[in-house]
Structure 1
Amino acid sequence: MHIFYGKASLMDYLKSIKTIHSSIGFVPTMGALHQGHLALMQKSLLENDTTVVSIFVNPTQFNNPEDLAKYPRTLDEDVKKLTNLNPEIILYAPSVEDIYDGKPVSEPFDFDGLENQMEGKFRPGHFNGVGTIVKRLFEIVDPTNAYFGEKDFQQLQIVKKMVAKNHLKVNVIGCPIYREANDLAMSSRNERLSGMERDEAAIIYKVLSTVKEQFVTKSTTEISEWVQKSFDNNPHFTLEYFTIADEATLISCTRKNKNKKYRAFIAVLVNNIRLIDTISLN
């Protein structure tokens, strides 16, 4: 398996194998790989000549220093999983110095307002950090296709906007959410949950599934009030936000329009561990 710790050697290698007709698939991750990550990689392996995976815990997208410190780092285990999946995968596992040249600071981005909704309201500066790292990784890897999970749907829309506004030649592909046996959306943060918390977190998707049913007949206000009560009745969970929003603009819906696509978004805290999920409503 090819593992690169520096961008210069990775770029040289990719240039040496790239042809005018070849394609490079890219899956950026922060490690602690789970089956959801591996599903993205399997799609890339099927659709491209070469697949590159990055593992980098990006400091500029964490507004909470404690969250950054506790984020799981399991590089040795991740390498084993990648090797078992396909030893031809190319891994880029850089240091902060290699990515940021000693200056781990975000660039300012304008995502046409996408950054001001949901996650942006609760995590100041988060999407500038996301835009910065994804843009740099795209410049290093120069992928044909890049794969992102729809669990982070707001991030997916922001990456697409960043690519369009910077005229980058990469096709950004959103992939379905991969779920655990109890339908909890797979996330590296799930590893920080106790067994009981992990079981009880099934409530998140149960609530979203009911929201989808209610969306047919009830107003968004009625639905939001019901969601809030559902978590008020559960002492182990704190609802940070719930919203029904236009998929394109991410602006919260106050009155339904049959010509628009809507999606429910939720963020929940359990024992100070933050879990997010989403579901398409039409």
Structure 2
Amino acid sequence: MNIIKNIHLLEKKIKELKKKKKVIGLVPTMGNLHNGHIKLILLAKKYVDIVIVSIFINPMQFNNLLDFKKYPKTFEQDCYILRKEKVEILFCPDIHEMYPHGLKNYTYVDVPKLSNIIEGRARPGHFIGVTTIICKLFNLVQPNFSFFGEKDYQQLLIVKKLVKELNYPIKIISLPTIRLENGLAFSSRNKHLNSLEQEKAPYLYKTIEHTCNVIIQNKGKKIPKTINISRQYLIKKGFYIDIFDVYNSKTLNPISKENKSIIILASVWLGNTRLIDNKKIILKN
């Protein structure tokens, strides 16, 4: 595996690959790799000649310095995983390489509306950090394909909108959420859960699934009541709720009677750990 930490070396390598007409795939990560990342890499290998994984813990997308500092860093273990999966290139720049003049007054990329609702309202500035770093990576790697998980559903829609509106010649491929046997979505933040919280955490997706089943059984009626019951159940289980609601799955607008494709988005706190999850459903007449 070729480990590249310098932008100029990456640019040189990309030029070589483009000359050889290689199809390039980018899997952007913040490290602390888990089974969800591995599945993304395996998916990428079906589409491209060269898989490039980036590891960069992006300070611009964190709401507070403490959260940024405590983000799990497992570089040696990550390299072991990537070598095992035969990833060709790892791009792992440091902060100074990506933001040489610091974050203050740095040029940023904003996807309006979608970045300021739901998760964006709960975490102001978060998605500006995401879209800015994604644009930087797209410009540097120039991938033909880029791969994202569906657990971060709002982020996925924002990236797709960014690619379309900024005319990037990149195809975005998404992967359904990868879960543990108990239903909990794989996440780097799961490591922050203590033993009791690990026992409680699966109730989030179980509650989402149950809520979806009730909505389907009621044929889309009494949704506010159904959501409220689910929220109260999670609160009794010890969760603090930022977001637990139903949205139009294509626009993330509030649902209307005409909506058939809807999604439950959830962002909750369990102790000091923030968990996010979702589930999409299709309502039939």
**TM bucket, shorter chain:** over 0.9
RMSD (Å) for aligned C-alpha atoms? 1.5
Counterparts of 1:107 and 1:151 in 2: how far apart (Å)?
A: 28
Match of 1:233 in 2: 236
Which structure 1 residue ranges, 4+ long, deviate > 2 Å from structure 2? 17-22, 102-112
**Per the alignment, in what secondary structure is the counterpart of residue 281 of structure 1?**
strand
Distance in structure 1 (CA, Å) of the matches to 2:114 and 2:130: 13
Q: Deviation per CA, 1:90-114, whole angstroms, max 9, x where unpaired?
A: 1000011111123225545442411
Shift of the 149–64 alpha-carbon distance from structure 1 to 2, 3 Å rule, reads same
TM-superposed CA distance for 1:138, in Å, is 0.4
SS of match in other structure, 2:276: strand
Is there any run of 5+ residues in structure 2 with no aligned partner, and where?
A: none
Equivalent residues of 1:96, 1:102 under 8 A apart = no
- Write the distance in 1 (CA, Å) between the matches of 2:123 and 2:112: 17
| TM-superposed deviation, 1:243 | 1.3
Amino acid at match of 2:102: K
Q: Which amino acid aligns with 1:225?
A: N
Taking the aligned partners of 1:193 and 1:250, their CA distance within structure 2 comes to 29
Alpha carbons 1:215, 1:281 under 8 Å: kept: no
2:41 corresponding residue in structure 1: 41
1:238 to partner: Cα distance: 1.0
Report the counterpart of residue 256 of structure 1 in structure 2: 257
Alignment partner, residue 27 of structure 1 = 27
Indicate if the aligned counterparts of 2:111 and 2:128 stay in contact, CA closer than 8 A. no
Alpha-carbon distance in structure 1 between the residues aligned to 2:91 and 2:164: 25
Instruction: Give 1:196 deviation, angstroms.
Output: 2.5
Once residues 159 and 80 of structure 2 are traced to their aligned partners in structure 1, the CA distance between those partners, rounded to angstroms, is: 29
- Contact 2:116–2:124 (CA under 8 A) maintained in structure 1: no
Q: Which region of structure 1 is more displaced relative to structure 2, 108-117 or 43-52? A: 108-117
Residue range with higher mean Cα deviation, 101-110 or 185-194: 101-110
1:277 is matched with 277
1:221 pairs with one of 208, 224, 227: 224
Instruction: Indicate whether 1:245 and 2:244 are aligned.
Output: no
Instruction: Classify 1:221/1:179 alpha carbon distance in 2 versus 1 (closer, same or farther; 3 Å).
Output: same
**TM-score normalised to structure 2 length:** 0.93
Match of 1:93 in 2: 92
Match of 1:182, SS state, is coil
Gaps in structure 1 of 5+ consecutive residues: none
